[in-house]
Chains A and B, each alone.
Chain A
């Protein structure tokens, strides 16, 4: 059974860093592009970042470029998102996903990040 389980969310103050993790199981993790997508409370979906199967290619959405870093450890079947200089507007549920723009998409259930003083 395919599973993606996000962790690492929580309540943090503005300006701090936080690292999200996404543990994958049930499929060959190293074969797939992986993504992070976020959704602020009551708002729409926003694509955050993606990473190639070998980890060499990454892209970011404009709102997080220069502050967030995506990475993966294929030996541990885990995707990461390092979020620096967090702002109130980064408050959202963060979903990790496999092949989100292809026919074999799979989404995790999300982890909530709240940025507030």
Chain B
């Protein structure tokens, strides 16, 4: 079982803004940077956000990350049908001396 908790699902209509939460603890999100990944069906994951709020080259600015205390969030604005995917947060955990992924959130575009 993961130490980072995400809602199982989230949805929105095209153009809407969707936010996904990731709840952790002081040993991970509370003291470390957070990454976010997108996984399209049948493909390898892709990094969307690193260092909590930085976008790798090529990731649209519709995707943004933030953190407050022991929780982090990924926001997707201007939702598009191509955004239908599973999304995962991740962080280093000092107590485990390893990385942990969130439980994952499936985003559906209605």
Contact = CB atoms under 8 A, between A and B. Distances in A.
Interface of A: 35, 37, 44-47, 50, 59-62, 95, 100-105, 107-110
25 contacts: A35-B99, A44-B88, A44-B104, A45-B39, A45-B101, A46-B101, A47-B90, A47-B98, A50-B99, A59-B97, A59-B98, A61-B96, A62-B96, A62-B98, A95-B45, A100-B47, A101-B35, A103-B50, A103-B51, A103-B54, A105-B47, A107-B44, A107-B45, A107-B46, A110-B44
Nearest to A109: B44
A47 B104 CA distance: 13
B104 A45 contact: yes
A44 B56 contact: no
A101 B98 contact: no
Interface in B40-65: 44-47, 50-51, 54, 56-57
Interface string B72-94: 00000000000000101010100
Interface residues of B, number: 26
Given A45-B37, A101-B99, 13 more contacts: A37-B45, A37-B101, A44-B86, A44-B101, A44-B102, A44-B103, A44-B104, A45-B45, A45-B90, A101-B92, A103-B47, A105-B47, A107-B45
A61 B2 CA distance: 11
Contacts of A45: 37, 39, 45, 88, 90, 101, 104
Q: Which 5 A-B pairs have the closest CB atoms?
A: A107-B44, A47-B99, A44-B104, A105-B47, A45-B101
B18 interface: no
A51 to B, nearest CB: 12
**Chain B binding surface, main DSSP class:** strand
Contact of B98 (A44, A61, A110): A61
A106 to B, nearest CB: 9
A108 B102 CA distance: 20
A105 B2 contact: no
Given A101-B92, A107-B44, A107-B45, A47 B56 contact: no
B100 interface: yes
Interface string B1-29: 01000000000000000000000000000
